[in-house]
A and B are shown apart, each in its own frame.
Chain A
Amino acid sequence: MSRKWILPLILVLALALTLAACSGNQAAEAPKAEQPKAEQPKAEEPKAEEPAGKEVTLTIGFTASQTGKYNVPSTRQTTGLQMWMDDVNNAGGIKLSDGTVVKFKSVFYDDESSKERVQELYTKLATEDNADFFISPYSSGLTAASAVIAEQYGIPMITTGAASDSVYKQGYTVVYQAYTPASRYLTGAIDLLMNLDPDAKKVAFVYENSKFATSVTEAAKAYAEKNGFEVVLFEGYDPETKDFNAVINKIEAAAPDAILGGGHFQDGSTFARQLYEKGTKVKFISLLVAPPEPTFAELGDAAVGVTGPSQWEPAAKYSPESAKAAGLEWFGPTGEEFTEAYKAAHDGEEPSYHVAGGYAAGLILQKAIMDADSIDKDAVLKALDAMDMMIFFGHIKFDTSAEAHGLQIGHEMVLIQWQKEDGKLVKQVVWPKEGATAEALYPIR
């Protein structure tokens, strides 16, 4: 090769690599356009602080990502919260034993999906809008930023749309998590596997090399090992991976009973498809994020039997009866009522778990105020610490230890599985038992 070409060639490669890196980000963040439907905060109403027996309107402050990369899930979360607020206000508010009627109003701002904005805005909510309670923004990153402010001003905050564990390990005392933390995303799958087949002992973890998937699988690996499983493969893959053949060969060599892992939608669905096309013999597959998405069904037969954790599913059958069976108090609407109400208001669209999470955050706050029989913050915090109930979203109970205060320890991911019924793919909830809609298919192939 002539010498004059070496320099341009290297330049070209550097350029191509840079472009590839940039375009990768672009692909990951391409937002789906959907404008928020949530109402803007109404003009400041003076806080009713008249003597007992009168109506009190509490201000719930939060930020929503009306712009930026979290636009879609955040908007859904806000919709859910607003739905709860309308429900409780329309039902006449919460009546305390001293005759006070508690109603709610929301004040929120656009955080532009940015941490910096979150801190500014929560400070404003605390100091200028005099928020009584906080709900978190969407995503772990933004929530971590907002939790600092909540703690600083001592305003109780229910977090939703935020699964990271780390926020609750900072010694905070007023922050409570509605979602199942990331460390338990895949533990339900392991529980189900133990339940289905006590002889299954070998698991392979194949996960996307991203912060989220890595922390989930590391926690799941520890859980699996604690429960006597042998981890025969623990392998990360690049988020841009399209060809899983090499990894699948490794899996086949390790001959596991179960494959756990995944990362996001694209890699997870490709992985499931290629496992099927390669004819890999495996009894159980559980992947993050991809399987609960309705479009996962486009994989056809490759989707059959694949399970995946979801914070919530419209089909999950948590009910007053299952709460009773589990010895828990039931609170709020049933999943069906919630789903129907949402569908009626949104042209028949099924609510996503983000909507349910927003509604659940409101319910948790409502129940805490009812249990405390007071709007005093300390009393409400005590009630949150003592909370142990079941709602349509699942079991709600918080860690009260000093190390992980506020961490969600009751709620479990529901595990969905694609099953074939009359030649059609249907998504069934197979775990936990209280929410299950069908028996799990096992072994899958």
Chain B
Amino acid sequence: MGEVLFTSAVDGLLIGIIYGLAAMGLTLIFGVMDVINLAHGPLIALGMFGVYLLFTILGLNPFIAVILVAVLGLLLGVVIYFVAVNRVIDAPPLSSLLSTFSVNMIIIGVGTALFTTSSYNVDYTLGTVEVGFFRAPGARIAASLVALLTTALLYLFLYRTRPGKYVRAVANNRIAAELMGIPSTRILALAFGIGAMLAITAGGLIATILPINILAGGSYELKSFVIVVLGGLGNPLGALLGGLILGLIEGLVPVFMKTTWVPVIEYVLFVLILLVRPQGLLGAKE
């Protein structure tokens, strides 16, 4: 029993880090500009297909492909910001919901036309890693490490660089930041770009370990919402914690009951947190 619990917990944490990374993208955008990015799922799917295409067409190692896709993701995020978000940034929440939802529909529409809704696999393996009784696919461990590294880089960026400081300043109080001479529109675009980049990176990492399709981002988007509420809306560290918790639930719940109970428990938790602790575990940004 001990072995099963350990293996299941570690497996859960491994995938939880990647969930957390995706959720950080969502929560960062919300934290900085009060926009719920409904194109989050399709961005994850774009990350998946980016890695898939670079791997199958150019024969690139998928983990190198993730880096390339992340950079493209940053640029794409900035473009999406100027096209769909900038104009409605100060409008009531519904406007930005609708505009990002439109982006969602555009990406899904184009993606479905190009790839249909069939599944694809990045046919890549790093063998099986075996430590004592614990065994896990090597690619899964590598993907989790990359996710962890990305998180660390995000923190270095936010807390150790000047643009990072600007992002935090704008998140904290945009008007005050503008008065201090921070170019808020550019910083908002940057923040949106980074949010998109995180989602796309997570998608790319998922593609290295699980089958993908153009609609697959949807389920990770849902997970991201649960995670974000769990950890505190607008709080990146909370998102990471929430991701790990969600991963643990997915890993450990099946040990004790049927796997079909996992989503039930996840969403009950979601509602409970909204009812009892709406600011999330680590508190929302205010």
Contact = CB atoms under 8 A, between A and B. Distances in A.
B86 interface: no
Contacts of A238: 259-260, 263
Contact of B11 (A12, A27, A246): A246
Contacts of A240: 219
B173 interface: no
B183 to A, nearest CB: 26
Contacts of B233: 1, 5
A24 B219 CA distance: 11
B229 interface: yes
A8 interface: yes
A267 to B, nearest CB: 9
A9 B222 CA distance: 11
Interface string A8-24: 11101100110110011
A300 interface: yes
Q: How large is the interface on B (under 10, 10 to 19, 20 to 34, 35 or more residues)?
A: 35 or more
Interface stretch (B62-70, B192-200, B250-258): B250-258
Contacts of A245: 11, 15, 140, 251
Q: How large is the interface on A (under 10, 10 to 19, 20 to 34, 35 or more residues)?
A: 35 or more
B262 A23 contact: no
Contacts of B216: 242
Interface stretch (B73-81, B149-157, B161-169, B274-282): B274-282
A225 interface: no
A399 to B, nearest CB: 34
Interface string A262-295: 0000100010011001110000000000000000
Contact of A17 (B11, B139, B222): B222
Contacts of A9: 36, 225, 229
B232 A1 contact: yes
A347 to B, nearest CB: 23
Contacts of B12: 246
B279 A1 contact: yes
A279 B260 contact: no
A4 B286 CA distance: 13
B72 interface: no
Contacts of B116: 30
A2 B262 CA distance: 29
Contacts of A209: 260
Interface string A151-164: 00000000000000
Nearest to A19: B218
A12 B213 contact: no
A10 B108 CA distance: 22
A73 to B, nearest CB: 17
A246 B135 CA distance: 13
Contact of B117 (A4, A23, A235): A23
B282 to A, nearest CB: 12
Contacts of A10: 274
Interface stretch (A248-256, A315-323, A361-369, A375-383): A248-256
A443 interface: no
A6 interface: yes
B240 interface: no
Interface string A221-260: 0000000000000011110111101110110110000000
Interface in B1-46: 1, 3-4, 7-8, 11-12, 15, 36, 38, 41
Nearest to A265: B119
A13 B222 contact: yes
Nearest to A238: B260
Given A8-B97, A246-B259, A266 B11 contact: no
Contacts of A236: 258-260
A277 B122 CA distance: 13
B61 interface: no
A45 interface: no
Interface in B243-276: 250-251, 253-255, 258-260, 262-263, 274
B210 interface: yes
B254 A278 contact: no
A26 B117 contact: yes
Contacts of B222: 13, 16-17, 20
B215 interface: yes
A298 interface: yes
Interface string A22-34: 0110110010000
A249 B11 contact: yes
**Residue among A6, A27, A241, A252 with most chain B CB within 10 A:** A27
A16 B221 contact: yes
Given A2-B286, A278-B136, 5 more contacts: A1-B232, A27-B213, A252-B4, A277-B125, A278-B128
Interface of B: 1, 3-4, 7-8, 11-12, 15, 36, 38, 41, 93-94, 97, 116-119, 121, 123, 125, 128, 130, 135-137, 139-140, 210-211, 213, 215-216, 218-219, 221-222, 225, 229, 232-234, 250-251, 253-255, 258-260, 262-263, 274, 278-280, 284, 286
In order of increasing CB-CB distance, the 8 nearest A-B pairs are A277-B137, A279-B128, A246-B254, A1-B284, A253-B4, A27-B117, A1-B233, A23-B215
13 contacts: A2-B286, A16-B218, A20-B218, A20-B219, A23-B117, A240-B219, A241-B259, A243-B210, A245-B251, A247-B259, A252-B7, A253-B255, A266-B119
